[in-house]
Structure 1
């Protein structure tokens, strides 16, 4: 459990820098260079993910069950993950409608993904992982939206159907890859069973 918690702490501390110290982040990027900053950020993120996966794999060997979710929650989770992947695509593809309307589609994707996994898993480790991601994404979204309103940010960039279709295509391809291969290969659990 310690490895899992350590991975989560590293991940959330790193990904909360922009949330709690945006000026320090910008100053550090200016001093060290944006590419070097992003490379360090990416490497530490990979280490954190590695610790989370390793810790989860270890904890899963002796699960502490809090509840036993009904089978239908797995089907609902699969659908919700598809929706979450659409928001991921909307964050990655420029000029999407979701990016224009909500500003932070990646945080919405994390909320949906975490909620989907919370309702379909019932162990203590699942609650720790997905509950912490859900709380972090809710807080981050609220802070960023409040900050944008205070700064008078207006998202008036053009959006088009072709960009939304690209996000949808990303979601479908990603969902099939995750459902039929990646989830089993990385996590060790097939979401289709």
Structure 2
């Protein structure tokens, strides 16, 4: 069992690895040498490695219980993760100029697609993942991992919206965002957006397959079965 120093080192390294590469000067230097797609792949791989280190460090940190786990929490986490994985499957590569993970070209404000569900679907995925795992992991180390992720995702949505409004101007922002959602499904509940039929069966199948794969891999990689 390691002490809190190893856990703190993993957390510090994680945030440093995400803060430094996206600084404008550093990012430009890396993109010039790796290419934009190469930078994206390297940054994604680095993120996965650092996340694995943080999770491993949380498991190895001293165990301090803040609340106990209940069986219903595991069922809820699996349901939330199904929603999160499906949301990611429909969001990655979709037309969405409001946040990362989507394409800017071809956006129709009258048919906003995934932006009608959320302008920031991948940040919403991160929020769902972090909040669900925060609920089911009530020890201090895991709370210190998942709570900042949830806060980062929630605050990141507001920060990106504010930046886009500043860059585009109020009139253009209002035009583009009229049928989109800040809160999940707000446009649907407000009558401003309706789901459109489209070629979504492949994305649905991919999402279900990924969710099943995560259920299978979780005990092998994390060491804890996700099913009750």
**TM-score class normalised by the smaller sequence:** 0.7 to 0.9
How much is the aligned-residue C-alpha RMSD, in angstroms?
Answer: 2.9
Aligned residues of 1:94 and 1:163 also touching (Cα < 8 A): no
Name which of structure 1's ranges 27-36 and 99-108 shifts more when overlaid on structure 2.
27-36
Q: CA deviation at 1:6?
A: 2.9
In our comparison, the structure showing a higher alpha carbon Rg is 2
Question: Per the alignment, do residues 83 and 66 of structure 1 end up closer, same or farther by CA in structure 2, a change over 3 Å counting?
Answer: same
Written as runs of structure 1 = structure 2, the 5 A alignment for 1:166-177 is 166-177=202-213
Aligned residues of 1:95 and 1:160 also touching (Cα < 8 A): no
State TM-score, norm by structure 2.
0.68
Aligned residues of 1:3 and 1:51 also touching (Cα < 8 A): no
Match of 1:24 in 2: 25
Match of 1:182 in 2: 217
Question: Per the alignment, do residues 175 and 98 of structure 1 end up closer, same or farther by CA in structure 2, a change over 3 Å counting?
Answer: same
Q: Which runs of 5+ in 2 are unaligned?
A: 97-112, 180-194
Match of 2:137 in 1: 121
Q: Which of the two has greater helix per residue?
A: 1
Name which of structure 1's ranges 82-91 and 23-32 shifts more when overlaid on structure 2.
23-32
Q: Spell out structure 1 runs of 4+ moving beyond 6 A.
A: none
Question: Per the alignment, do residues 117 and 54 of structure 1 end up closer, same or farther by CA in structure 2, a change over 3 Å counting?
Answer: closer
State TM-score, norm by structure 1.
0.79
Q: Which runs of 5+ in 1 are unaligned?
A: none
